[in-house]
Amino acid sequence: MTASLTDLTLKDARAKLRAREISSTELTQAYLDAVARYRDWNAFITETPEKALAMADASDRKLAVGEGGPMEGLPIGMKDLFCTAGTRTTAGSHILDGFTPPYESTVSGKLWAAGAVCLGKTNMDEFAMGSSNITSYRGPVASPWTKRAENKPLVPGGSSGGSAAAVAGRLCVAATGTDTGGSIRQPAAFAGICGVKPTYGRCSRFGIVAFASSLDQAGAMARTVEDCAIMLEAMAGFDPHDSTSADLPVPDWTAACAKPVRGLKIGIPKEYRVEGMDPEIDAVWQGGIDWLKAEGCEIKDISLPHTKYALPTYYIIAPAEASSNLARYDGMRYGLRVPGRNLVETYGKTRGEGFGVEVQRRVLIGTYVLSAGYYDAYYLKAQKVRRLISDDFLKAFEDVDLILTPTAPSAAFREGDKMDDPVAMYLNDVFTVPSSLAGLPAMSVPGGLNGDGLPLGLHLIGKPWDEATVFAGAAALERAADFDVVPYGLERAA
Ligand code: GLN
């Protein structure tokens, strides 16, 4: 019974809750048991079982009288980057030790208001900087996936690695993620689940611990495209507390998932056929192209000429903004304080011990590219190139409705791999970063397995504010891929 409850999709669980076939308390307990059972994956930084059961009970009371919101009674994981009032929020960092936010992020608040049940805060790369969840101060996350033939731990991707592992491993029905350069889409691809990053400005950033403010966006991670649509509807919407939040109505994305894709024009960017590309990635990409063609889409070759500058541009802009955002962690107002003999020494010790190696690297790069002597050469130049990258997309979207690419250049890798070479790690985001710089909506859906039996993702990029077409295309890919492989690390109770 327990195993089958946690196998339900969000949509099916919701239908059963509404029909009173199951209770939220029952469903929540099944997930809490799963979380406890697979604790060695380290998917959660903070578990909130009492809160979860209290929320489930409140949901059951509403459901009993036919009331409740669109997420009523559904147990989710909340990435530990979202401030949750009264519940510890660490952003995967030592420097936020002891921080319990006095307020709620807009997105998490909307989800609770919609009836979602909080199982806990999911693990993540420190301050969302990383692609494998190995920079978390709380330790790495093990993916529920292993290669089919060997039982060695693999990374779940990052930075929303805890959310990805928890969703794939049936520890929650869905989870939030945030995406600055790929942190929803790349872990979704590694974990064989779906992940959507909406247009920049769709979801409020208020109360999300800031990494790179001009790039950060919240999104949904779940096992199906429609589950992501249902959840994203509950997360999105205008918020006066975020000056970059868009004052636009939230469309019916759930309905968009059922829209036919016949006649849609799909762009295939030639610049994404990178040199030395893994033939298995290429094959999944070609599979996606063939599926959409079979559904009646028109496939068009397109060019995004500035693609090769996207990663270098991102690794100037994101660290620059991070260095500024992270200046607030000085040990004075909240979080960790490591006392020195005077104020300056206290700052230095707190930041030296509180930030991990990757975060320190970003702060150093960021302060360097913003420094008086180098600002024009790096930061200003990067801003100009960012505009060119964005213009490439807008030009391409004059001829096509969606762009299809692979999500990541490889499948999940071993925990120790790429650790000593930051640039190799940064290459994980080669296909996701350009759309982040352009602020576009994008989604990863499972496209199939590689020869080792590991999931590979397909990535759809849409026009600004056109998540609806992204959902329609993603649902078409999902139908064709018919991906229903359960991670091998998940023992299935009879
Ligand atoms: N891997 C990228 C980075 O480390 C993206 C992270 C993210 O999207 N938060 O910056």
For residue 344, the tally of other CB atoms under 10 A from its CB is 9
Is residue 292 within 8 Å of 400, Cβ to Cβ? no
- Whether 347 maps to a domain, the answer reads no
Judged against a pLDDT cut of 50, whether residue 386 lies above it is answered with: yes
- Whether 372 maps to a domain, the answer reads no
Closest atom of ligand 1 to CA, residue 428 = 1
How far, in Å, are 2, 16, 378 from residue 494 at the CA level? Answer: 9, 21, 58
Measure 314 CA to ligand 1 centroid, in angstroms.
9
Is residue 50 within 8 Å of 63, Cβ to Cβ? no
Closest atom of ligand 1 to CA, residue 182 = 8
CATH number at residue 248: 3.90.1300.10
- Whether 51 maps to a domain, the answer reads yes
> What's the rounded mean pLDDT across residues 370-374?
96
User: Partners of 120 in the beta sheet?
Assistant: 47, 77
> Which residues are known catalytic residues?
79, 159, 183
Q: Is the CB of 321 under 6 A from ligand 1?
A: no
Quick one: pLDDT band at residue 493, thresholds 50, 70, 90? very low
Judged against a pLDDT cut of 60, whether residue 5 lies above it is answered with: yes
Quick one: pLDDT band at residue 419, thresholds 50, 70, 90? confident
Domain count along the chain: 1
> What's the rounded mean pLDDT across residues 431-460?
98
Token pair 């005077």 is at which residue?
A: 342
Pairwise CA distance, residues 84 & 208, whole Å: 9
pLDDT for the residue numbered 421: 83
Q: Which of 100-114, 367-381, 423-437 has the lowest mean pLDDT?
A: 423-437
Token pair 């030296």 is at which residue?
A: 352
Q: Is the CB of 159 under 6 A from ligand 1?
A: yes
Q: Is the CB of 179 under 6 A from ligand 1?
A: yes
How far, in Å, are 32, 122, 472 from residue 39 at the CA level? Answer: 10, 12, 36
Judged against a pLDDT cut of 50, whether residue 1 lies above it is answered with: no
> What's the rounded mean pLDDT across residues 206-233?
98
- Whether 63 maps to a domain, the answer reads yes
Sheet strand arrangement including 455-462? 44-47, 117-122, 75-79, 174-179, 217-222, 194-197, 442-449, 455-462, 402-406, 265-269, 298-302
User: How does pLDDT run across 48-102, given as a tens digit for each residue?
Assistant: 999 999 999 999 999 999 999 999 999 999 999 999 999 999 999 999 999 999 9
Q: Is the CB of 429 under 6 A from ligand 1?
A: yes
pTM: 0.97
User: How does pLDDT run across 120-158, given as a tens digit for each residue?
Assistant: 999 999 999 999 999 999 999 999 999 998 889 999 999
> What's the rounded mean pLDDT across residues 319-325?
98
- Whether 109 maps to a domain, the answer reads yes
- Whether 234 maps to a domain, the answer reads yes
- Residue in 122, 131, 209, 357 to alter for ligand 1 test, most ligand atoms within 8 A of Cβ: 131
- Whether 298 maps to a domain, the answer reads no
Angle formed at CA 15 by CA 12 and CA 16, multiple of 5 degrees = 90
Judged against a pLDDT cut of 90, whether residue 422 lies above it is answered with: no
Range of the domain at 95: 2-261+462-493
Nearest residue by C-alpha to atom 10 in ligand 1 = 129
Angle formed at CA 146 by CA 143 and CA 149, multiple of 5 degrees = 175
Q: Is the CB of 318 under 6 A from ligand 1?
A: yes
Nearest residue by C-alpha to atom 5 in ligand 1 = 181
